[in-house]
Amino acid sequence: MVRLAARRLLLLVPSLVLLTFVVFGAMTTWLGSPATIMLGQDASPAAVRDLDARYGFDQPVAIQYGHWIGAAIRGNLGRSVSTQQPVAAMLAPAIPVTLELAFASILVALAVSLAANSITAAPRILQPLVSGLSVIGVTIPNFMLGALLVYLFSVRLHWLPTTGWSPWSAGAGPHLLHLIMPVLTLSSFYACSFGLVYRAEYRATARLLFVRAARAKGLSDTRVSFRHVLPNAVLPVITYTGLSLGQLVGGAVVTETIFSMPGIGRLLVSSVGSYDYPVILALTLLILVGVAVANLGADLLYARVNPQVRV
């Protein structure tokens, strides 16, 4: 397992360097000088040159990238152009919000998809219903589902708060109430897509010899399903979960914007609107590292579950 993790890390580092270099070059050089965008099209050439020299935009992109990534490794992500606050101080309160939303959504999606497609009671009634809901859930966009949930649970029933965020310090009850609809919105697509992948593998695994042998021993259908079929059919879901983490970031951006959550998704939207390039670069680096590390964790979990990968 250690050797496998080392090999994955050796592939991870150059990939991150290449991706961050491409994003940095596009933001600072290849798509035009940020000074022109920051000052506007009516800015004089002298003002653009002064701002280029101030921020180092007149240097080669490789040198700019070296200075930026070196400072980022030391924890210095620069200052926001629009607010003049340290970027690290702006990210600190936003990261826990997005992490909690992402982890809660993935856990809910996995639990719902595996449990709903492993139930053996009344299969002729439940399975067509679960399959139909899965297809519907995959096709509904996040922003539409979020708006529907707000209309139903906030406007009509008055059960949940419409938008906003309540920290844990304000109490567990208000915090969880503000978290329910964002988690349902973000997890719905993944619960349905995971369920479709898992159901196909579940049917193939249920026909294997060792499953038929377990049934021949007199084990109940529920025990066979959860004890023998599920651990062997879940492998593709682990892989698909790792591949879906990049999409999860995009879903978090939409979800946090809908429900006014102070996470990195909403911060990214506001930074792009004001072309606050230090914040955009820091968020891009954070997202790339987070997705890469999460994919590494999914690979190691897959290797843990399936010994053939380690061999």
Domain residue spans of the chain: 2-93+263-294, 94-261
Residues 98-116, mean pLDDT to the nearest whole number: 88
Evaluate if residue 121 carries a pLDDT over 70. no
Interval 203-215: pLDDT, tens:
888 888 888 888 8
Work out the mean pLDDT of the chain and round it to a whole number.
82
What percentage of the chain exceeds 90 in pLDDT? 1
Buried b (16+ CB within 10 A) or exposed e, 18-31: ebbbebbeebbbee
Confidence (pLDDT) at 306:
66
Q: Which amino acid is at 209?
A: L
Interval 215-233: pLDDT, tens:
888 888 888 888 888 888 8
Tokens, residue 278? 């230090």
Run of H or E including 45: helix 45-55
Report the alpha-carbon distance of residue 289 to residue 310 in Å, rounded. 24
More confident of the two residues 231 and 123: 231
Residues 69-81, mean pLDDT to the nearest whole number: 84
Report the alpha-carbon distance of residue 59 to residue 68 in Å, rounded. 12
Evaluate if residue 311 carries a pLDDT over 70. no
The closest alpha carbon to 244, from 191, 181, 182, 281, belongs to 191
Quick one: the chain helix, strand, coil %, rounded to 5?
80, 0, 20
More confident of the two residues 299 and 180: 180
Find where tokens 């997890």 sit: 187
Confirm whether pTM is higher than 0.75: yes
Secondary structure (3-state) at 75: coil
Q: 94-261, what's its fold?
A: MetI-like fold (1.10.3720)
Count of Cβ atoms closer than 10 Å to residue 296 Cβ? 17
The closest alpha carbon to 123, from 206, 7, 54, 197, belongs to 206
Interval 127-141: pLDDT, tens:
777 777 777 777 788
Run of H or E including 58: none
The closest alpha carbon to 61, from 86, 80, 33, belongs to 33
Residue 90 near residue 80 (C-beta atoms within 8 A): yes
Evaluate if residue 80 carries a pLDDT over 80. yes
**Residues with Cβ within 8 Å of residue 31, at least 6 apart in sequence:** none
Buried b (16+ CB within 10 A) or exposed e, 203-214: eebbeeeebeeb
Evaluate if residue 258 carries a pLDDT over 70. yes
Interval 187-200: pLDDT, tens:
888 888 888 888 88
Run of H or E including 208: none
**Residues with Cβ within 8 Å of residue 245, at least 6 apart in sequence:** 290, 291, 294, 295, 298
More confident of the two residues 43 and 236: 236
Confidence (pLDDT) at 273:
78
